[in-house]
Amino acid sequence: DQQVKQNSPSLSVQEGRISILNCDYTNSMFDYFLWYKKYPAEGPTFLISISSIKDKNEDGRFTVFLNKSAKHLSLHIVPSQPGDSAVYFCAASDGYQLIWGAGTKLIIKP
């Protein structure tokens, strides 16, 4: 049973608009959440994270929101740029290992 779910396999967004990527989890023991970005044939690179004691974390164009009661987090990218086209993975930490979602492919249209 998947503990971390990214229900949208792909998302297409106009350049300059906001991209919103969603992630749901089932295990209330997860205490740290991370977003990674991955280009084809490369390893994922860390993007932004959030602790379970917070509900928002910002880093430049990237903001992650955490709703613990709904067991839901989202990544907002604004404004979206062509270089943001990639696969985005949500991951949750149980303190020992990361549990990964299946990823969402973000396509930024010109």
3-state SS class at 54: coil
Chain-centre distance for alpha carbon 87: 10
Query: How many chain residues are in contact with another protein, going by CB under 8 A?
Result: 24
CB nearer to another protein: give 42 or 83.
42
Whether residue 44 has a cis bond before it, omega within 30° of 0: no
Is residue 32 close enough to count as binding another protein by CB under 8 A? Answer: yes
Does residue 50 belong to the site contacting another protein (CB under 8 A)? no
Q: Single out the residue of 35, 30, 31 nearest to residue 6, CA to CA.
A: 35
Q: Does 70 bind another protein (CB under 8 A)?
A: no
Residues that bind another protein (CB under 8 A): 4, 6, 9, 31-32, 34, 41-46, 49, 51, 89, 93, 95-98, 100-103
